[in-house]
Amino acid sequence: MSSYDRNSERNSATPSSSSRLAVDSGSGASSRPRESTILTGRTLVRVICTAGSGALEYTHAFVTAYAADHLRAAVAQRLSVGAYELLSNALNFGSVSSDIVIELIESDNMVGVRVENDAIAARISMLTEHLLKLKTNAEQTFMEELRRSVTGGIPRPMLGLARVTHEVGLTLDLQVQERRIAVTAQCRR
């Protein structure tokens, strides 16, 4: 195990008061096996994009290229969509001054992309509510957000996460610790 992994393990070993919501890719529809355990394992790539640096698009391109090289093509494509939508959310709904962290993680069976950023309480509530809707019925939520993205409306459409879970079939996991949120999109390797 490398020193990087030992540091990461030390970080994750301490209990805290964070909360969590998981949305299976099979929510409300198919009989896919549950994939909603918190993804822990080896970090393959981790990049901290400092606030306002304009690094997100290029970083996404790099993570996509990395995934294409290291993972099965179908998995890499799904994770690329997941990474794009998670990063877009962090940019559009996160705090302007927040660093955004993107991480590609693999375990024995699973692989995922995780995006962390800060957000205000109202945005966190909105995100949580949205994920609960996806958990109840992903397809219906996807169709609603698709309609809203065409017709416009307040609040802003949140098609991205619906796309991640319904269209691309990744399991979503939201962890919240005070103002820090981490959204993970994962699937079997």
Per CB under 8 A, residues contacting another protein are: 2-4, 7, 11-16, 18-22, 38, 40, 42-50, 53-55, 58-59, 62, 65-66, 69-70, 101, 116, 128, 174-177, 180-182
CA distance 171 to 23: 6
CA distance 27 to 15: 28
Closer of 136 and 147 to another protein (Cβ): 136
Question: Side chain identity at 175, as an amino acid letter?
Answer: Q
**Residue 125 · residue 17 · CB < 8 Å:** no
- Least Å distance, CB 150 to another protein, is 30
Here the tokens at position 74 are 């179908």
Closer of 2 and 31 to another protein (Cβ): 2
Closer of 51 and 150 to another protein (Cβ): 51
3-class secondary-structure state, position 2: coil
CA distance 183 to 22: 9
- Least Å distance, CB 66 to another protein, is 7
- Least Å distance, CB 152 to another protein, is 29
3-class secondary-structure state, position 166: helix
Closer of 18 and 30 to another protein (Cβ): 18
Closer of 48 and 143 to another protein (Cβ): 48
- Least Å distance, CB 107 to another protein, is 14
- Least Å distance, CB 86 to another protein, is 14
CA distance 28 to 47: 34
CA distance 126 to 148: 16
